[in-house]
Amino acid sequence: MKKTLLLAGVASVLAFNANASEYNWNWMKDWSPYVGADYVYSKGKFGGEARHMKDSNNSGSVNVGVRMYDYLGLEAFYQQSGERKAHTDAGAYKNEFLAYGVDLYGYMPIMCSNFNVLGSLGMANYRVRFKYPTDKSFHRNRIGYRAGIGMQWDFTEHMAVRVMGRYSYLGMAGLDNLQEVTVGLRYTF
């Protein structure tokens, strides 16, 4: 019985591969892959023992994505901040974070096809490191939910400038949420 199922599975794979060359791939002709880089200014809402941390961070983000059918896009990103220090009478508080995840974008052309209003929804894994004056440090990981709105200007066929405002809910001990502003470039292939 097992040999019969194995032979049937192999036969169906071979039959599919034989017909694959005849499959119509035209549905992908309206897809535009791109890469991008952003500057990100983040302002966090710290609480508890982390309330003495600096609430703002500067970071960089790189991303790859695909725009589908003029109105929809999917983008994966990686973002990392530098270490931020806050000095108090008790000593220095330090924090930094990195994030990676996926956002779904909606594009709405305005005036002409070169300007688009953007909306995004996504999820990301945030890794935050806190270091306190007592040499106690914490690393926390948390899945966060993101929503954003912005604008993109396609100034050539391949290059675009994007500005976004984003709210990310983390809900972790010490850092409840992030409010971010991003400015960046996209290169479409």
**Structural domain count, the chain:** 1
Q: Which residue has the higher pLDDT, 116 or 55?
A: 116
Predicted structure pTM score:
0.80
pLDDT higher than 60, residue 12: no
pLDDT bin (cut points 50, 70, 90) of residue 49 is confident
Whether 27 is covered by a domain: the verdict is no
Whether 140 is covered by a domain: the verdict is yes
* CATH code for position 171: 2.40.160.20
Q: Please report the pLDDT score of residue 117 as a whole number.
A: 96
State the residue range of the domain holding 58: 32-188
Provide mean pLDDT across the span 174-187: 94
Question: Residue 70: left (phi > 0), alpha (psi -120 to 50), or beta?
Answer: left
Q: How does pLDDT run across 69-99, given as a tens digit for each residue?
A: 889 999 999 999 988 888 788 788 888 999 9
Nearest Cα neighbor of 65 from 37, 36, 40 is 36
- What is the spatial distance between Cα 94 and Cα 73, in angstroms, rounded to a whole number? 36
